[in-house]
């Protein structure tokens, strides 16, 4: 690690019992970057993300950082609210920590994770902003776009859809598209047949019964589970043996329960399997025959659709955002239907169930193309180009301790060096005065000692930061505050004792007079 530049990646969430697409995407990204950089992953709390990251050898720092959701759904007072965020204790602690760490650059993930970018910019640390969702389009969208543009050196977009909100001049100057991928070792390709049989037996799905799947990390209204249930009513009328698998943690419990009640009212309880969070997604994908993605929002990319196709499954989805982009790219545009058209969604699924051979061929074609365009080989080629560019741009410059480095003057080449002409004789070097060499040597030794001391202090500060300790300046300020409080308490106690003595003296004087 010593020969690698240190970078910091900021995750906006770290869920305790499940892991979202954005978390999986950032974890995979960090693992690939760790080949080139010493990566520190900052997360708000312990969770699935941090536990998996430690298994892969990534350094973890826990830090609670407020999220600015107004970047995703812009409004008129957004910039005023951002200034309030900058006054928070969490923002100042983040800034102090970054000042000690001094990474070569930071990567902040998702548009709502604004504060790391603000803190890094304040310290003249380069910012790469990773955008994986589509910012809501309204009359205030330009405010969000401007905040991201002003507080970033580069923008990574996972699709054309996520980059579309930026004007053309920003896209040309600083936006790079890098779609997600997957780890081949986690695909368990050799075990697909075995996984399919085992998972279907667990779900009590017979070999002749088609299984239609729905997957979402957190199930809420925007993910379209209710549309999936209504689609199942139409499909079951044509294919009564079909069964349905719903995977995901309820994000909106009342909505989730409403969907479950709808299944009961339609008499499909025996056909549906609600399994919550799935530990082994490869087994779930292998068990399915068709994957349906009825998302009602403009997905930034469509990780579930890509994963399904990487397992060779035909995908039917609503025609919007990143889902449209990925299905058209791999030649499966015929299985996109207009958003909220449930009958057409069912019609596409019925077409696939009516011809199992066609469904298998479409799934195989999707796997071939998705692997070619989005697979690990293509991803690593893109990552290599990024890492080389970032190394040259951010990791070879002089360290910036108190601001941008001053421009270094480069002398012009001597006259005639390039043309072979004779050069004028160099002027004689001035002779040093007596004793100046010894003084210069002493100065050099002093500078070396001071440099060693500074480097030692920096190493100790970084070590404390990795252990989660607060920076020295923060600890010193806390000690001063504690000392001041203690001094006030001592002063109060002394005052009380003094006042008590005066009162006792007065009472004694009164008694003497009375006597």
DSSP assignments along 175-222, one per residue: EEE------GGGT-GGGHHHHHHHHHHHHT--TTS-EEEEEEEEE-GG
Tens-digit pLDDT profile for residues 254-275: 999 999 999 999 999 999 999 9
Judged against a pLDDT cut of 90, whether residue 459 lies above it is answered with no
Task: Give the distance, in angstroms, between the CA of residue 279 and the centroid of all CA atoms in the same chain.
Answer: 21
- Candidates 126, 92, 128, 89; CA nearest to 109 is 128
pLDDT at residue number 441: 53
pLDDT at residue number 416: 34
Mean pLDDT of the chain: 85
Judged against a pLDDT cut of 90, whether residue 92 lies above it is answered with yes
The enclosing H or E element of 437 equals: helix 436-466
pLDDT at residue number 99: 97
In which region does residue 267 sit, left (phi positive, over 0), alpha (psi from -120 to 50) or beta (all else)? Answer: left
Judged against a pLDDT cut of 60, whether residue 462 lies above it is answered with no
Tens-digit pLDDT profile for residues 406-419: 333 333 333 333 33
Judged against a pLDDT cut of 90, whether residue 85 lies above it is answered with yes
29-41: average pLDDT: 95
Tens-digit pLDDT profile for residues 314-330: 999 999 889 999 999 99
pLDDT at residue number 396: 74
335-349: average pLDDT: 96
pLDDT at residue number 457: 58
The enclosing H or E element of 109 equals: strand 105-109
pLDDT at residue number 123: 97
120-136: average pLDDT: 96
Task: Give the distance, in angstroms, between the CA of residue 425 and the centroid of all CA atoms in the same chain.
Answer: 60
364-390: average pLDDT: 95
pLDDT at residue number 116: 98
pLDDT at residue number 103: 97
130-141: average pLDDT: 95
**Can you tell me which residue has the tokens 């969490």?**
90
Judged against a pLDDT cut of 70, whether residue 439 lies above it is answered with no
Judged against a pLDDT cut of 70, whether residue 188 lies above it is answered with yes
pLDDT at residue number 68: 97
CA within 13 Å, CB half, 71: 23
Tens-digit pLDDT profile for residues 94-103: 999 999 999 9
Judged against a pLDDT cut of 70, whether residue 35 lies above it is answered with yes
Q: Cα–Cα distance between 446 and 451 in angstroms, integer?
A: 8
Q: Cα–Cα distance between 38 and 4 in angstroms, integer?
A: 6
pLDDT at residue number 403: 38
Judged against a pLDDT cut of 70, whether residue 291 lies above it is answered with yes
pLDDT confidence band for 19 (50 / 70 / 90) = confident
pLDDT at residue number 486: 73
pLDDT at residue number 390: 96
The enclosing H or E element of 503 equals: helix 472-514
Judged against a pLDDT cut of 90, whether residue 244 lies above it is answered with yes
Q: Backbone phi, then psi, for 403, in 5-degree steps?
A: 150, 180
Task: State the burial class of residue 256 (Cβ atoms within 10 Å of its Cβ: 0-12, 13-18, 19+).
Answer: buried
Do residues 227 and 295 make contact, with C-beta atoms less than 8 angstroms apart? no
Judged against a pLDDT cut of 70, whether residue 42 lies above it is answered with yes
pLDDT at residue number 502: 54
Tens-digit pLDDT profile for residues 478-510: 666 677 667 766 766 666 566 666 566 666 666
Judged against a pLDDT cut of 80, whether residue 433 lies above it is answered with no
346-351: average pLDDT: 97
Tens-digit pLDDT profile for residues 216-237: 989 999 999 999 999 999 999 9
330-340: average pLDDT: 95
Q: Cα–Cα distance between 129 and 9 in angstroms, integer?
A: 10
pLDDT at residue number 332: 94
pLDDT at residue number 40: 97
Task: State the burial class of residue 368 (Cβ atoms within 10 Å of its Cβ: 0-12, 13-18, 19+).
Answer: middle
Do residues 85 and 112 make contact, with C-beta atoms less than 8 angstroms apart? no
179-201: average pLDDT: 93
Q: Cα–Cα distance between 28 and 365 in angstroms, integer?
A: 25
145-179 core/surface letters (b: 16 or more CB in 10 A; e: else)? bebbbebbbbbbbbbbbbbebbeeebbeebbeebb
């Amino acid at each position: 690690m010593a020969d690698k530049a240190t970078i910091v990646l900021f995750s906006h969430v770290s869920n305790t019992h499940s892991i979202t697409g954005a978390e999986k995407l950032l974890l995979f990204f960090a693992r690939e970057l760790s080949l080139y950089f010493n990566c520190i992953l900052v997360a708000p709390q312990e969770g699935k993300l941090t536990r998996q990251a430690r298994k892969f050898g990534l350094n973890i720092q826990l830090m609670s950082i407020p999220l600015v959701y107004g970047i995703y759904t812009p409004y008129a007072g957004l910039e005023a609210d951002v200034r309030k965020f900058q006054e928070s204790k969490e923002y100042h602690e983040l800034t102090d920590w970054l000042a000690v760490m001094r990474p070569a650059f930071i990567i902040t993930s998702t548009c709502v994770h604004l504060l790391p970018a603000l803190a890094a910019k304040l310290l003249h640390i380069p910012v790469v902003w990773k955008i994986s969702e589509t910012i809501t389009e309204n009359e205030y969208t330009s405010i969000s776009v401007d905040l991201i543009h002003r507080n970033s050196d580069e923008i990574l977009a996972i699709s054309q859809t996520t980059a579309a909100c930026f004007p053309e001049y920003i896209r040309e100057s600083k936006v790079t598209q890098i779609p997600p991928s997957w780890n081949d070792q986690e695909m368990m390709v050799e075990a697909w047949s075995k996984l399919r049989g085992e998972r279907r037996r667990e779900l009590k799905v017979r070999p002749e019964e088609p299984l239609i799947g729905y997957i979402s990390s957190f199930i809420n209204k925007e993910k379209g589970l209710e549309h999936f249930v209504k689609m199942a009513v139409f499909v079951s009328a044509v294919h009564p043996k079909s069964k349905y698998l719903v995977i995901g943690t309820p994000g909106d419990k009342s909505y989730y329960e409403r969907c479950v009640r709808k299944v009961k009212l339609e008499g499909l309880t025996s056909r549906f399997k609600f399994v919550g969070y799935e530990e082994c997604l490869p087994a779930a994908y292998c068990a399915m025959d068709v994957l349906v993605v009825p998302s009602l929002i403009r997905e930034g990319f469509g990780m579930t659709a890509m994963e399904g196709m990487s397992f060779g499954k035909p995908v039917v989805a609503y025609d919007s955002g990143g889902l449209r982009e990925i299905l058209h790219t791999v030649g499966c545009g015929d299985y996109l239907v207009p958003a909220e058209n449930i009958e057409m969604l069912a019609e596409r699924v019925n077409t696939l169930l009516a011809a199992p051979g066609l469904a298998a061929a479409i799934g195989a074609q999707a796997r071939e193309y998705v692997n070619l365009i989005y697979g690990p080989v293509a991803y690593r080629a893109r990552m290599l180009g990024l890492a080389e560019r970032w190394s040259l741009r951010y990791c070879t410059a002089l360290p910036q301790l108190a601001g941008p480095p001053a421009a270094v003057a480069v002398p012009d080449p001597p006259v005639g060096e390039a043309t072979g002409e004779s050069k004028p004789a160099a002027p004689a070097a001035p002779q040093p005065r007596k004793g100046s060499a010894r003084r210069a040597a002493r100065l050099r030794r002093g500078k070396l000692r001071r440099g060693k001391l500074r480097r030692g202090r920096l190493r100790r500060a970084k070590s404390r930061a990795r252990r989660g300790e607060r920076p020295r300046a923060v600890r010193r300020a806390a000690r001063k505050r504690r000392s001041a409080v203690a001094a006030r308490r001592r002063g109060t106690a002394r005052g009380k004792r003094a006042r008590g003595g005066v009162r006792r003296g007065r009472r004694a004087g009164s008694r003497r007079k009375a006597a």
